[in-house]
Amino acid sequence: ADAELLLQTRGLSVHYGGVTANADIDITVGAGEIVGLIGPNGAGKTTFVDAVTGFAKSSGEVLVSGQRIDRASPHRRRRVGMARTWQAGELFADLTVEQNLAVAVQRVGLRALVTDVLNGSRPAAGVVEKALDVVGLTDVADRRPDELTLGQQKLVGVARALVGDTRLVLLDEPAAGLDTHESLAFGDELRRIAATGVGILLIDHDMSLVLDVCDRLYVLDFGRVIASGTPTEIQDDPAVVAAYLGSA
């Protein structure tokens, strides 16, 4: 049985002046699936996330749950249940974990809830609580980022993307800076999140994390998909080995 298709791109292309940053990219992410997007520096991974989420001008089609959204604003795309994280995903240092998430709720457009949280009461619909629960951070809701481990801080970044009935998250190097042990624990959390039915597109340079946690992978090189398949298939693919050695 095929999982529900959350994200599909068809012929997605992005040009920056003379540079083809994304060329004809066809990718799918299903519900509950963790799909990796890997490739050497400059391959076009962040550009792909920018294009899908509406932050880069693109041609081709982007469908979320079967609905064309490639002409919609980033804000509208966020409201159809798709969210991203940013490479430098700073948290607000002076706000608690819960308040950081409340800000994210506000940005999705659920303003009434924000007022509740900032006033110290529980938000009516439990949107923040739900996101905290999914990433296992309920116990640290009242702490500030500098009182958390780096791994927990990274999970707050993920939780921020999950608020507001997010079905699909695009994570741009969410584990950057974590050591091997922390990265594995982070991967376990991603699996738990996916098990709730969320689809995850994961960009990361940490190959052990990506190979360990992803169901399927796409490999980009010079803006083009040069290989796709399971982690096992990808590791043995000569084109992939060549792309990585070529950039070393």
Query: Between residues 42 and 231, which has the closer beta carbon with respect to ligand ATP?
Result: 42
Least spacing, CB of residue 118 vs ligand ATP, in Å: 34
40: helix, strand or coil = coil
38-57 residues in contact with ligand ATP (CB under 6 A) are 39, 41-47
Q: How many residues bind ligand ATP (CB under 6 A)?
A: 11
The site map against ligand ATP for 203-232 (x = CB under 6 A) is ------------------------------
Q: What angle do CA 51, 53, 58 make, to 5 degrees?
A: 25
Is residue 9 close enough to count as binding ligand ATP by CB under 6 A? Answer: no
The backbone region for 219, taken as left when phi is positive above 0, alpha when psi lies in -120 to 50, beta otherwise, is beta
Query: Between residues 31 and 220, which has the closer beta carbon with respect to ligand ATP?
Result: 220
The site map against ligand ATP for 141-180 (x = CB under 6 A) is ----------------------------------------
Among residues 19, 112, 239, 242, the one that binds ligand ATP under rule CB under 6 A: 19
**Strands 59-64 and 67-68, how do they pair?**
antiparallel
Rounded to 10°, the helix 111-118/97-108 angle is 160
Residues 86, 172 contacting (CB under 8 angstroms): yes
For residue 219, the cross-strand partners are: 38, 227
Least spacing, CB of residue 40 vs ligand ATP, in Å: 7
Measured distance CA(137)–CA(125) in Å, rounded: 18
Residues 93, 67 contacting (CB under 8 angstroms): no
Among residues 16, 149, 165, 236, the one that binds ligand ATP under rule CB under 6 A: 16
Provide the binding-site residues for ligand ATP, judged by CB under 6 A: 16, 19, 21, 39, 41-47
